[in-house]
Amino acid sequence: MNVQVENHDKVLVAKVEGRVDSSNSQDFERQLQGAIGEDVKAVVIDLGQLAYISSAGLRVVLLVAKTLGQRNVSISLCALSDPVQSVFEISGFNRIIQIYDTQADALAAAG
């Protein structure tokens, strides 16, 4: 698992690669929370290179979404592979977190 961060103006794009499960979800949380600075106004999490996410990983996404929600910072996900998309659909998280097909779509909406 690896998180790479790019800044597009005040929109933070975090690209997550590999697998996120209970063995590395704490590390995932640290990397993600650590990347989000004070002056960010939107966060886009690009899951294009994410092979697998377990419920422990979903918890981190939910935690970050809740924390950002309290700060009025928008959060969205993009480029989900079919298996990852299905995890978000079954858990119902696609109903509470905005998901876009591509990073460009997510950035346009966040812009």
Partner 1 sequence: MGDRDRPDYKILVVDDEPDLERLVRQRMRRQIRKGKYGFEFAGNGVEALEVLTEKKDIDIVLSDINMPKMDGLTLLQQIPEVNSDLRSVIVSAYGDMENIRTAMNRGAFDFVTKPIDFTDLEVTIERTLRHLDEWRAALASRDKLVAIQNELDVATKIQQSILPDKFPHVDGCEVYGCMHAARNVGGDFFDVINLDAGRIGLAVADVSDKGVPAALFMMSSRTLLKGAAVGVEDPGAVLREVNDLLNETNDAAMFVTVFYGVYDPSTRELTFSNGGHNPPLVVHPDGSSEELELTGGLALGAIPGFEYGQARIRLSPGDLVVFFTDGVTEAINVSNEEFGLESLQSLFGDGRTPAAREAAEMILQAVQDFAGEAPQFDDLTCMTLRVADE
Q: Give the residues lining the site for partner 1 (CB under 8 A).
A: 21-23, 25, 54-56, 58-59, 62-63, 66, 89-93, 95-96
Cβ–Cβ under 8 Å, residues 44 and 11:
yes
Residue closer to partner 1, measured from CB, 54 or 74: 54
Provide, rounded to whole angstroms, the least separation between the CB of residue 82 and partner 1. Answer: 13
Provide, rounded to whole angstroms, the least separation between the CB of residue 51 and partner 1. Answer: 10
Provide, rounded to whole angstroms, the least separation between the CB of residue 32 and partner 1. Answer: 13
Residue closer to partner 1, measured from CB, 96 or 104: 96
Cβ–Cβ under 8 Å, residues 57 and 21:
yes
Residue closer to partner 1, measured from CB, 63 or 109: 63
Output the CA torsion sign for 25, 35, 88, 18: negative
Provide, rounded to whole angstroms, the least separation between the CB of residue 65 and partner 1. Answer: 8
| Residue at 15: amino acid letter | K
**Beta bridge partners of residue 13, listed in sequence order:** 6, 44
Alpha-carbon gap, residue 85 to 31, rounded angstroms: 22
